[in-house]
């Protein structure tokens, strides 16, 4: 038991050291990337530095398997250099038994990464996406999902239009059970349109079986108009709609199953998010596999010359 605890402590210290080294490297790389991205804009250095620290956790989280295998290589090379593995084998302990402690530590790190670090990374990634988009375009994401359906927002020059739909097709160009609510600049809603469907094509929404209300009329219901086909201008593109979805890494693993369900009920493909969920659940086993791979190359005793 004492030897197991010794190997576990050595491995944890080595892992944290490699983790800290990569954290410093990634912060520098991300800082250069953010400076280049916002070069020429009015974004100050401290804002860029804040974006860097928001982006760094996601970058580091993605390379956890690399950190794990490098920590394993470093540990067992160190043990081989000091002949500690030879002493352990001479005491009757097999090489595989010497791997037990690092494997347990790797699995525990994987579980902690999925259950604790993942929500933290998701929170920082989401804040980074919102802040970076606001600094780049001056506005937030055009799309969001809720239990009531999906919501879109577009500028129309003199105000904004909020769009709610029950569901959509895979690329977001066709909406069903849709409502358009138009807001004037610095004022409340001025018009509302409900339609069975709406299709996005070349800068406009084409609505089928639409009913239109104007709120400035004395009696909006009496003055409502019915249209077999109605076109409304749009500043959105299919690419902007799909890009508005949060990346899987920006959603905590605890919320990911519900988000996948909402995505599929809205008519969008959730394959990318489902694959990410399975990858996250397999993270502890992946890190344990990295330990086995690293140990396989370094557990053999090596004579180091001076």
pLDDT exceeds cutoff 80 at 1: no
Model pTM greater than 0.75? no
160 plus 129 within the same structural domain: no
- What residue numbers bound the domain in which 30 lies? 2-139+279-298
128 plus 194 within the same structural domain: no
Mean pLDDT of 199-214: 88
Classified as helix, coil or strand, 183 is strand
Q: Which tens digits make up the pLDDT trace of 237-255?
A: 777 776 666 678 878 899 8
129 plus 210 within the same structural domain: no
Which range among 135-139, 207-211, 241-245, 265-269 shows the weakest confidence by mean pLDDT? 135-139
Predicted confidence at residue 50, as pLDDT, reads 87
- The number of helix segments (H) and strand segments (E) in the chain equals 11, 7
pLDDT exceeds cutoff 80 at 303: no
pLDDT exceeds cutoff 90 at 108: yes
Predicted confidence at residue 300, as pLDDT, reads 64
In a domain, 306, yes or no: no
Which range among 26-30, 156-160, 202-206, 258-262 shows the weakest confidence by mean pLDDT? 156-160
Q: Which tens digits make up the pLDDT trace of 51-87?
A: 889 888 988 999 999 999 999 999 888 887 877 776 7
Which range among 24-38, 96-110, 140-154, 205-219 shows the weakest confidence by mean pLDDT? 140-154
Mean pLDDT of 262-285: 86
153 plus 204 within the same structural domain: yes
156 plus 211 within the same structural domain: yes
- 195 — pLDDT class (breaks 50, 70, 90): very high
Between 216 and 180, residue with greater pLDDT: 180
In a domain, 132, yes or no: yes
pLDDT exceeds cutoff 50 at 139: yes
155 plus 132 within the same structural domain: no
In a domain, 204, yes or no: yes
Predicted confidence at residue 93, as pLDDT, reads 66
- 142 — pLDDT class (breaks 50, 70, 90): low
In a domain, 38, yes or no: yes
In a domain, 258, yes or no: no
pLDDT exceeds cutoff 90 at 291: yes
Mean pLDDT of 35-46: 76
Q: In terms of Cα–Cα distance, which of 138, 184, 139, 189 is closest to 159?
A: 184
Number of domain units in the chain: 2
181 plus 230 within the same structural domain: yes
In a domain, 100, yes or no: yes
133 plus 153 within the same structural domain: no
Question: What value does the CA radius of gyration of the chain take, rounded to a whole number of Å?
Answer: 27
Q: Which tens digits make up the pLDDT trace of 165-179?
A: 888 887 778 888 999
25 plus 127 within the same structural domain: yes
134 plus 161 within the same structural domain: no
Predicted confidence at residue 246, as pLDDT, reads 63
Chain center to CA of 77: 35
Beta bridge partners of 184: 159
Between 72 and 139, residue with greater pLDDT: 72
Chain center to CA of 272: 11
Phi, psi for 96 (deg, rounded to 5): -65, -35
pLDDT exceeds cutoff 90 at 280: yes
Between 237 and 93, residue with greater pLDDT: 237
pLDDT exceeds cutoff 70 at 207: yes
In a domain, 287, yes or no: yes
In a domain, 153, yes or no: yes
Pair 201, 189: CB distance under 8 Å: no
Predicted confidence at residue 306, as pLDDT, reads 44
Q: Which helix (H) or strand (E) holds 287?
A: helix 283-298
Mean pLDDT of 290-296: 90
107 plus 155 within the same structural domain: no
How far apart are alpha carbons 79 and 301 in whole angstroms?
9
Between 131 and 60, residue with greater pLDDT: 60
117 plus 157 within the same structural domain: no
């Amino acid at each position: 038991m004492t030897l197991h605890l010794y190997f576990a402590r050595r491995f944890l210290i080595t892992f944290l050291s490699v983790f800290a080294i990569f954290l410093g490297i990634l912060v520098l790389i991300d800082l250069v990337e953010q400076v280049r991205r916002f070069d020429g804009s009015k974004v100050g250095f401290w804002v860029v530095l804040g974006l860097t620290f928001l982006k760094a956790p996601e970058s580091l989280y993605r390379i956890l398997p690399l950190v794990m295998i490098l920590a394993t290589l470093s540990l067992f090379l160190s043990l081989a250099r000091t002949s500690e593995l030879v002493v352990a084998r001479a005491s009757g302990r097999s090489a595989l038994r010497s791997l037990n402690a690092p494997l347990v530590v790797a699995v525990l790190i994987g579980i902690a990464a999925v259950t604790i670090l993942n929500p933290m990374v998701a929170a920082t990634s989401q804040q980074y996406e919102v802040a970076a988009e606001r600094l780049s375009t001056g506005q937030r994401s055009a799309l969001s999902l809720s239990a009531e359906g999906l919501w879109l927002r577009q500028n129309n020059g003199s105000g904004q239009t909020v769009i709610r739909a029950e569901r959509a097709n895979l690329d977001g160009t066709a909406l069903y059970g849709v409502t358009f609510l138009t807001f004037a600049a610095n004022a409340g809603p001025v018009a509302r349109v409900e339609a069975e469907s709406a299709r996005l094509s070349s800068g406009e929404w084409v609505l089928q079986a639409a009913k239109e209300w104007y709120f400035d009329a004395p009696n909006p219901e009496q003055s409502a108009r019915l249209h077999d086909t109605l076109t409304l201008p749009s500043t959105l593109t299919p690419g902007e709609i799909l890009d508005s979805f949060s990346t899987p890494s920006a959603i905590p693993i605890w919320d990911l199953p519900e988000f996948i369900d909402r995505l599929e009920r809205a008519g969008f493909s959730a394959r990318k998010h489902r694959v990410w969920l399975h990858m996250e659940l397999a993270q502890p086993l992946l890190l344990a596999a990295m330990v086995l791979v690293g140990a396989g190359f370094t557990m053999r005793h090596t004579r180091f010359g001076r």
